[in-house]
Structure 1
Amino acid sequence: MPLPAVRAVSLGLRPYEEALRVQRRCVDAARAARGPPPRPPTESVLLSEPARPVYAWGLRGAPAEREAERLRAAGAGLAAVRRGGSVTFHGPGQLLAFPVLDLRARGMQLRGFVERLQDVAVRTCRRVGVMNANGRSPPYTGVWVGDGKVCAVGVHCGNHITSHGLALNCCTDLSWFEHIVPCGLEGTTATSLSHELGRHVTVEDVTEPFLESFQEVFDCTVVFSEEPRD
């Protein structure tokens, strides 16, 4: 039996912390769909553009106190999140995509999910004209254009339900990455679609190519849905 359509929930320009709260509601809905009576899984992909600069770190641990104060002094918020990876930047001009998928229902392993998510980002980049975008293997997970990382990938999976996902730099102010070692990878740099193409590429410009790529890679239909409520 084919899986039902994946809901696309578009939050637009929204504080990162709010996007995380909506993600939690999507995860709760997906888990509740497994309970009695039997119902098909409720899957979503949450799209957002961070309204303010934030440095977020995953399960590798928080920055030291002095480092945290330095990042705050730069004018950014700080957030600890339940995903793989170390510290990275989220901010205006970046497309955040949080797929909330049931890997058990899809017969998919976590490594395969990460590879597909990376493939979605590669196809999105190529759709907008960055033809030399390529994914890499751990510890360089993500999408790269030469030596510049254009898309970070970091996920969490609990009870087979995924959360977090990817952050694609569209017209991001790349100077924010100068304050950190992005994703803990020494000697690497960040880039953006705008930088690579030499023109301004907004999150809105990239949303449709992203959803087209998502449907191809995950073999699904995406339908827009309202933001879930408590």
Structure 2
Amino acid sequence: MSLVDTIRNAFVPVRREGYPFIAAFAVASLLLGAAWTPFFWIGLVLTGWCAYFFRDPQRVTPADDRWVVSPADGRISSVGPAVPPRELDLEAGEMIRISVFMDVFSCHVNRAPVRGRITRIEHRPGKYLNAELDKASSENERNGLVIESPNGVVAVVQIAGLVARRILCWASAGDDIGIGERFGLIRFGSRVDVYLPAGATVRVAVGQTAIAGETVLAEFGGEITPPLVRVS
């Protein structure tokens, strides 16, 4: 690794959506530190964590339509058949669902699992249950995107968690989106579900750690060959 790469990796960009929170933590640290010095150091650690939470590192994404990549950093919490949220109006019945759980130390920038056109985006208010619970898919606040990909309809759903209180989505219905392209963010602990059509072969297992835009979750047919990549 070159010196330039080392320096670049040491200073990971931070999403601008995190600036107000980082500033608030920093100001609180100064004010509380004026009353009692240990509060300043505690606040400084929390400010550093806040900046770390809103990090937005570059990722190297497989540029191959056969692959489905993870939309989020975190742990694969479930894999199996499930019915997509009703508001997405998908008539396929059960689809293959892969869930990625993000804790408060995960990078929370979400990326498109496939290339295609976004045909529908639906937001639904709801509860803030532990995102690891299966019923969080149907009861928690969520935002779903339907993507018409080269291999059929794929849905990706951002789900608020126990601590999360805001789902951000920068994409719009009608947009073309590339695999691994950033489309949203969930603040402070959450989960993302990917719904895949029949014909997709799952390539991950429950408990595995996933990296957004890089980890291959599933494959659509064909022999496995080294894919091309792009940095996004």
User: What TM-score does the superposition give when structure 1 sets the normalisation length?
Assistant: 0.31
Hey, which of these two has a bigger chunk of strand by percent?
2
Which one has a bigger Cα radius of gyration?
2
